[in-house]
Copies of this chain bind each other. A is one copy, B any other.
């Protein structure tokens, strides 16, 4: 951040708090991004009061690695949130995962804590559920939410239901104590998460405490849920009901900041951990607008995300930015706002977005699209080069697992892993945001663009030191059988004998 920007906010206040809304929502799910039913008035207003990022990316087309990337400012291949069990596989943290966020990683809340911030995570942690990975061991002061996704087991009693924690201890389990009605989609969880956020903000405001609130709720992840008041309110069905409830909640949180008089001291960012899961459509899947494919893929639909920065009095209202951004930038940008330096003993992939946000600058930087241990694609300027393409395997596809439903771009949406490393498939995302028309290999434009891109890729590969992969080993013994606090609740279960195996990652 330049001295102007620094002085700008320093004059306003002695501290800047941070709110990050990190959800699973597709680029096309917001009215402001062209969703045809236009049912997100609060997010649209957030955009019109703040800055819309049109070229913003997540670090991975899947949840856990993206979340690890946001909190460490580093690509998953560096922070360990990937697998080497097979080539280019998406991996995450199911209940039987042995790994999690390594102690050697420095998380944003750890760094902010040293500067006096109080940090809270509300919602899905997803960086490992074994004791050493607990969010309160990694910089958070408070936690309300679950370590894993709520997508099962569904109260089958043979396997532990996912626990819900308050701070150090579990206070119940999904389906047992925190109901999600799988038939109707009814659950009041978003309302609980909303109240947690409002209370936390009120408390910090009362004590004049700078804070970092990480609101990572999961209502739009299948099985999608919404509370009773929102069920049936959307043209889009259950998924739209969940979006409406989230939209309403975010509106309430922003209004709360304004009411407490701290909106000008609070930098708020809304974005998503991966593209909409088209495989859950139409009932439980969102929209990636006109982008190709969705979650699990390194096409634009899998990794380009809706993004809004909001900071009244600092960010000019109604701004639009074409800055290539990434969730990892929230790490570096937040540190910058807190007057802190990012760690210098490791490679940080996030950049400070403040010059883009406050001064309208465009910083030249690439976007890397990884799938597990492979750099599948890279974006430089408006060009995107695919070094590998893969939707998923024929075997999976024949079972109806389709990450690109209704879309079929010959030679691009492939069901075998296709290597293009000697002659990458090149797209111009301005003329062709849908990645349908690869440039001719023989064209001057191809040659010129690839010359520029090759330098960027070479530099990236030469300096890349992959971290120890954390998502290789699975073991049923590590599931949430007896989380801390289970004794008090009489909810401890007996784990089976340890039997570690290579996790199976099919796509």
Q: Report A's interface with B, CB cutoff 8 A.
A: 28, 32-38, 52, 54-55, 234-237, 239-240, 281-283, 287-290, 292, 320, 322, 382, 405-409, 428-434, 436-437
In the complex, are the beta carbons of B287 and A432 less than 8 A apart?
no
B236 touches A431 (CB 8 A): yes
Are B38 and A430 in contact (CB-based, < 8 A)?
no
Chain B residue at minimum C-beta to C-beta distance from A32? B34
Number of copies: 2
Cβ of A435 to closest chain B Cβ, rounded Å: 8
- Jot down 10 A-B pairs with beta carbons below 8 A, ordered by A: A235-B322, A236-B430, A237-B428, A240-B431, A281-B436, A281-B437, A282-B432, A283-B431, A287-B290, A407-B408
Q: How far is the CA of A38 from the CA of B382 in the complex (A)?
A: 14
Give the residues in chain B near A36, CB-CB below 8 Å.
54-55, 289-290, 429, 433
Contact of A37 among B34, B54, B283, B406 (CB under 8 A): B54
* CB neighbours of A55 from chain B (8 A): 36
Cβ–Cβ < 8 Å partners of A281 in chain B:
432, 436-437
Contact B436 A405 (CB under 8 A): yes
Which of A289, A290, A407 has the most CB atoms of chain B within a 10 A radius of its CB?
A290
Q: How far is the CB of A326 from chain B (nearest CB, A)?
A: 17
When distances are taken between beta carbons in the complex, the residues of chain B under 8 Å from A430 are: 37, 234-237, 240
A171 to chain B, nearest CB (A): 35
Q: Which residues of B contact A292 (CB under 8 A)?
A: 406
CB contacts (< 8 Å) of A237 on chain B: these are 428, 430-431
Q: Determine the chain B residues whose CB is within 8 A of the CB of A234 once the complex forms.
A: 430
A283 and B382 CA atoms in complex are apart in Å by: 15
In whole angstroms, how far apart are the Cα atoms of A283 and B437 in the complex?
10
Contact partner, A282, options B38, B406, B437, Cβ 8 Å: B437
- Measured between alpha carbons, how far is A405 from B409 in the docked complex, in Å? 8
- A45 → chain B closest CB, angstroms: 10
Apart from A36-B55, A237-B430, A408-B408, 19 more pairs, CB < 8 Å: A28-B34, A28-B290, A32-B34, A34-B289, A34-B290, A36-B429, A37-B322, A37-B430, A37-B433, A38-B54, A235-B382, A235-B430, A236-B431, A240-B430, A282-B432, A290-B290, A406-B434, A407-B407, A407-B408
CA A86 to CA B235, docked complex, whole Å: 38
Residue in B405, B409, B431 whose beta carbon sits within 8 Å of that of A406 in the complex: B409
Provide the residues of chain B in CB contact with A406, threshold 8 Å.
Answer: 292, 407-409, 434, 436
Q: Give min CB distance, A494 to chain B, whole Å.
A: 43
Within the complex, the shortest CB–CB distance from A222 to chain B, in Å, comes to 14
Q: Chain B contacts of A432 at CB under 8 A?
A: 281-282
Minimum CB–CB distance from A293 to chain B (whole Å) comes to 11
Residue of B nearest to A278 (CB): B436
- Alpha-carbon distance between A407 and B293 when the two chains are bound, in angstroms: 11
On whether the beta carbons of A282 and B34 are closer than 8 Å, the reply is: no
Chain B residues contacting A428 (CB-CB under 8 Å) are 237, 282
Which chain B positions have C-beta within 8 A of A283?
431
Shortest CB distance A315–B (Å): 17
Chain B residues with Cβ under 8 A from A35's Cβ? Answer: 34
| A301 → chain B closest CB, angstroms | 10
Residues of chain B within 8 A (CB-CB) of A236 are 430-431
Cα–Cα distance between A382 and B237 once the two chains are bound (Å): 11
Q: Please name all residues of chain B whose beta carbon is closer than 8 Å to the beta carbon of A32 when the two chains form the complex.
A: 34
Residues of B within 8 A of A289 (CB): 28, 34, 36, 289-290
Which residues of B have CB within 8 Å of A287? Answer: 290, 433
CA distance A320 to B35 in the complex (A): 13
Chain B residues with Cβ below 8 Å from A436 are 281-282, 405-406
Q: How far is the CB of A266 from chain B (nearest CB, A)?
A: 26
Q: How far is the CB of A28 from chain B (nearest CB, A)?
A: 6
Of A287, A289, A382, A429, the most chain B CB neighbours within 10 A belong to A289
Q: Determine the chain B residues whose CB is within 8 A of the CB of A405 once the complex forms.
A: 436
Please, how many angstroms separate the alpha-carbon atoms of A252 and B482 in the complex?
Answer: 68
User: Which B residue's beta carbon lies closest to that of A41?
Assistant: B320
Q: Within the complex, what minimum Cβ distance (angstroms) separates A203 from chain B?
A: 35
How far apart are the CA atoms of A154 and B378 in the complex, in Å?
A: 41
Alpha-carbon distance A433/B287, docked complex (angstroms): 10
Chain B min CB distance to A3 (Å)? 30
Contact (Cβ within 8 A) A38 B320: yes
Query: Chain B residues with Cβ under 8 A from A33's Cβ?
Result: 34
Least Cβ distance of A30 to chain B in Å?
9
- Cβ contacts under 8 Å, A240 to chain B: 430-431
The CA of A440 and the CA of B173, in the complex, are separated in Å by: 35
A-B pairs, 8 with minimum CB distance? A34-B34, A235-B430, A237-B431, A406-B436, A282-B432, A408-B408, A406-B409, A282-B431
